[in-house]
Amino acid sequence: MDMIVSPQSIQNSLLEWFRENGRHWIPWKLKKDGSIPQSGESLSPYGIWIAEVMLQQTQLKVVIPYWEKWMEVFPSLPSLTEADLESVLMLWQGLGYYSRANRIHQSSKKLIEFLGENTDQDPYSWPNRIDQWMFLPGIGRSTAGSIVSSAFDLPAPILDGNVKRILSRLLAIERKSIKDEKKLWEFSSLLISKISPRNFNQALMDLGANICTPQKPSCSSCPLQKFCVAYADYDPNNFPKKEMTRIKPIQEIGIGLVFNKNGELLIDQRLESSSMGGMWEFPGGKKISSESIENTIERELKEELGIVVKVGQKLLSFEHAYTHKKLYFTVHICEWISGEPKPLASQKLLWVSPDKLFEFPFPAANTKIISELYKHLCIENKKL
Ligand code: SF4
């Protein structure tokens, strides 16, 4: 890649800015005693790996309390490997994109195999190459680069959302095509400091979070201003070019809160192979355009659980947005009439007392239903 300035000038400016302005307090980037690691010193790959997966699609300030709780409950790789998926999902509850928790759980077994007789407490027993990390489910090139540079202080480039934005502005690349993406990877590889790769990658992320922000970047405080083509020639806000916002389709979903005569509620566990696999939910399904939502609930519960219910009062309806779609949920209280419930489209069914619901991992959309249900049961003066 042709560059007018040397990568070293950019590295020096960025690292100098980082010394004064970087986020030096991120817990997984510190040693066990809370001190900052020396150049070349390794950190625990376990904590860094968990943090990097949590950070996919999620902001740092949201991740930190989840990560701290995780390290209390699963302080080491063996403790995670021995845990069942349900306990892992319980800790992930509220963080979203639950397939990440599933993949961490699967990966923990592969990593234990990799370590063999070696202890997980010795960083040098762990994989320290990008390709080894990319072999694990859910680890892409940027996450792998971030793990390798953070844990081992090795020059592994990264290209997460923040870094893509900075680099595309520095070069005034529109980032519309695969070719542009390839150029950004080349640029990231060219720029990375061989002397201080951990700090360099962290500096890029900190700059993206605090200076080169998506809207109104603070170019006047930016250590890279003198190298930035978008700043010099164009309006930085135009880089990267924004993709057309796709309108997310809305699908209506009917949900049945099915009670038996003992006041217990029916919940089902999603198939391991599905999205949010292993999470629990209330049964229901997609509305067909010609039917009423009450008919949807009756039909879905017959098809997926083999039971007949009487659909009663509506509890609530709400919209919930996912990455590529929006769902509109309508939830009704139902009475179980006949048929022994069978997990025809799930891996497990349970009748549970409503006050035990918090013991199961539920996706965010279902937690809204639970809080509304609790209010309803209090109003109805039923014992929780
Ligand atoms: S000068 Fe502005 S647009 Fe360029 S890298 Fe710095 S903050 Fe981003």
Q: pLDDT by residue (tens digit) across 114-146?
A: 998 888 888 889 999 999 999 999 899 999 999
Does ligand 1 come within 6 angstroms of the Cβ of 207?
no
Contacts of 6 (CB under 8 A, 6+ apart): none
CA–CA dist 283, 346 (Å, integer): 9
Q: Give residue 383's pLDDT.
A: 47
Cα distances (angstroms) measured from residue 38 to each of 2, 11, 179, 195, 332: 33, 18, 37, 12, 59
DSSP conformational letter for 170: H
**Ligand 1 center to residue 212 CA distance, Å?**
5
Q: Where in the chain is the domain with CATH 1.10.340.30?
A: 7-238
**Ligand 1 center to residue 148 CA distance, Å?**
27
Mean pLDDT, rounded, for 245-262: 87
What CATH number has the domain spanning 250-379?
3.90.79.10
Cα distances (angstroms) measured from residue 289 to each of 69, 70, 252, 286, 293: 44, 43, 9, 9, 9
Tell whether omega for the bond before 240 is within 30 degrees of 0, i.e. cis: yes
Per-residue pLDDT tens digits for 8-49 = 999 999 999 999 999 999 999 999 999 999 999 999 999 999
Q: Which atom of ligand 1 is nearest to the CA of 239?
A: 3
Does ligand 1 come within 6 angstroms of the Cβ of 171?
no
333-362 burial: b if 16+ Cβ within 10 Å, else e:
bbebeeeebebeebeebeeeebeebeebbb
Measured in residues, the chain has a length of 384
Q: Which atom of ligand 1 is nearest to the CA of 218?
A: 7
**Cβ distance 320 to 364 under 8 Å?**
yes
| Residue for token pair 């809080």 | 371
**Cβ distance 199 to 193 under 8 Å?**
yes
Nearest CA to ligand 1 atom 1: 225
Contacts of 73 (CB under 8 A, 6+ apart): 79, 87, 91
Q: Which two tokens stand for residue 208?
A: 């993206």
**Ligand 1 center to residue 222 CA distance, Å?**
6
CA–CA dist 102, 164 (Å, integer): 27
Query: Comparing 88-102, 174-188, 253-267, 338-352, which segment has the lowest mean pLDDT?
Result: 174-188
**Ligand 1 center to residue 144 CA distance, Å?**
26
Model pTM above 0.85: no
Identify the band that residue 384 occupies on the pLDDT scale cut at 50, 70 and 90.
very low
Q: Which atom of ligand 1 is nearest to the CA of 236?
A: 3
Phi-psi region of 127 (alpha: psi -120 to 50; beta: other; left: phi over 0): beta
Pocket test for ligand 1, best of 162, 166, 216 (most atoms within 8 A of CB): 166
Identify the band that residue 272 occupies on the pLDDT scale cut at 50, 70 and 90.
confident
**Cβ distance 104 to 53 under 8 Å?**
yes
One-character DSSP codes across 238-261: GSSPPPPPPPPPEEEEEEEEEE-T
Does ligand 1 come within 6 angstroms of the Cβ of 169?
yes
Q: Which atom of ligand 1 is nearest to the CA of 225?
A: 1
**Cβ distance 351 to 338 under 8 Å?**
no
Contacts of 327 (CB under 8 A, 6+ apart): 250, 251, 252, 253, 319, 320, 365
Contacts of 306 (CB under 8 A, 6+ apart): 339, 340, 341, 342, 344
**Cβ distance 195 to 201 under 8 Å?**
no
Which of 16, 52, 68, 303 does the annotation list as catalytic?
52
Write down the architecture of domain 7-238 according to CATH. Answer: Orthogonal Bundle (1.10)
Does ligand 1 come within 6 angstroms of the Cβ of 236?
yes
- Does residue 368 carry a pLDDT above 80? yes
Q: What value, to the nearest 5°, has the Cα angle with vertex 151 and ends 145 and 156?
A: 25
Backbone angles phi, psi at 44, to 5 degrees: -65, 115
**Ligand 1 center to residue 199 CA distance, Å?**
19
| Known catalytic membership, residue 340 | no
- Does residue 249 carry a pLDDT above 50? yes
